[in-house]
């Protein structure tokens, strides 16, 4: 397993470094210490052509300028929290409101805009990033110590391990916001990619993208990915939920299985495939629906549907919906979660 490090730019006068792992098959995983963000995943297609299959820039500057969440570690809580108001141990806590009237992706700035400490002595094939989120950051109580370990295996697996502890009761529901485009060319988009999910239910959204609290059956809707189906299904549908969101930006409830993939993504043209496994209860599927060509990758404007995010997490806004699972972390607890993406070609 090879490991390298290069200067990736600077933020506020502090250097940013990109770290790359490469296995014996030539697969590469690159992550920078700003936002603990994945900047590239390179792998061959069915003809052996090696390309970057995630959206990312070639320096840190556009990440700072546009804050697109590409490959970023998201937290403390992924997704939206209604009105930013939560009750913890009987006390109302007001989180930062940074999207309309709601709290979004941990506030501004959050995990994706922080420097993370890198363990230079990590074991072979791993990159370990640590961040101390101070008490009161964006309204969250407690000093929260977060560690994210990324691993690249010889089986072409990218593993993400999250661990965290806090000294006060707080909320924690992290994810990684990587956008996949298995064609290796963002201008081709992902609408012809095929998606399959082990999911019988999805969470509908209100106008402000906060979940309604209900869970609906996918059968007979454009949210039915129990068998492989093209992503353009939702974009072309007249379903009120997909029309309002220009496609998918929705949580899907996953059937839990330790030894069976929670889903898969396939690009028929390149032959590339991703299967993913997770201990989280849901995956949020988002197709970069609202990007408006304000910036470029490799000299070409990034347009809607240029990538697909598969954000494994507990259901968003769970603190307000008892049926959505637990996102409270207490001082006597240790958080642990793992998601694995496995890459191959058909």
Q: Which residues are catalytic?
A: 177, 311
What's the DSSP call for residue 96?
P
Residue 80's DSSP bridge partners are 104
Give the distance from CA 78 to its chain's centroid: 9
Per-residue buried b or exposed e for 218-248, using 16+ beta carbons within 10 Å of the residue's own CB: beebbbbbeeebbbbbbbebeeebbeebebb
**Rounded Cα distance, 307 and 291, in Å:** 10
Q: Extract the tokens encoding 120.
A: 């230079």
The 3 state secondary structure assigned to 217-263 is: ECCCCCCCCCCCEECHHHHHCCCHHHHHCCCCEEEEECCCCCCCCCE
End-to-end CA distance of the chain: 24
Residue located via tokens 């072309």: 236
**Rounded Cα distance, 218 and 14, in Å:** 47
Residues 6+ apart with CB under 8 A from 45: 51, 184, 270, 271, 272, 345
Residue located via tokens 């969470």: 203
Q: Residue 246: which of 228, 231, 229 has the closest Cα?
A: 231
Alpha helical stretches, state H, 132-196: none
**Rounded Cα distance, 271 and 253, in Å:** 27
- The CB density around residue 297, as the number of other CB atoms within 10 Å, is 21
Residues 6+ apart with CB under 8 A from 160: 148, 149, 150, 176, 338, 339, 340
């Amino acid at each position: 397993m090879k490991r390298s490090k290069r200067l990736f730019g600077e933020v506020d006068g502090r250097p940013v470094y990109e770290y790359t792992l490469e296995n014996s098959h030539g697969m590469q995983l690159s992550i920078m210490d700003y936002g603990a963000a994945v900047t590239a995943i390179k792998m061959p297609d069915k003809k052996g052509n090696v390309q970057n299959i995630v959206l990312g820039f070639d320096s840190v500057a556009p990440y700072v300028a546009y804050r697109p969440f590409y490959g970023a570690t998201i937290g403390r809580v992924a997704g939206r929290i209604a009105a930013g108001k939560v009750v913890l141990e009987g006390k109302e806590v007001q989180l930062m409101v940074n999207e309309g009237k709601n709290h979004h992706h941990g506030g501004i700035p959050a995990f994706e805009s922080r420097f993370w400490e890198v363990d230079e002595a990590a074991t072979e094939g791993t990159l370990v990033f640590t961040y101390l989120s101070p008490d009161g950051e964006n309204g969250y109580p407690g000093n929260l110590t977060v560690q994210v370990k990324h691993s690249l295996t010889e089986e072409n697996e990218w593993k993400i391990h999250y661990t965290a502890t806090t000294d006060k009761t707080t909320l924690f529901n992290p994810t990684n916001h990587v956008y996949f485009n298995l064609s290796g060319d963002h201008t081709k988009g992902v609408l012809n990619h095929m998606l399959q999910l082990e999911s019988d239910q999805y969470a509908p959204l209100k106008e402000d993208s906060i979940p309604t609290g209900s869970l609906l059956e996918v059968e007979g809707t454009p949210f039915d990915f129990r068998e492989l189906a093209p992503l353009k299904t939702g974009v072309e549908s007249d379903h009120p939920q997909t029309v309002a969101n220009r496609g998918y930006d929705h949580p899907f409830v996953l059937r839990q299985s330790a030894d069976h993939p929670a889903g898969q993504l396939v690009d028929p043209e390149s032959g590339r495939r991703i299967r993913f496994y997770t201990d989280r209860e849901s995956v949020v599927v988002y197709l970069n629906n609202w990007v408006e060509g304000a910036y470029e990758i490799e000299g070409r404007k990034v347009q809607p549907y240029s990538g697909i995010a598969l954000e494994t997490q507990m259901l968003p806004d769970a603190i307000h919906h008892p049926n959505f699972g637990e996102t409270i972390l207490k001082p006597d607890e240790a958080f642990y979660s793992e998601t694995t993406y496995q890459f191959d070609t058909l």
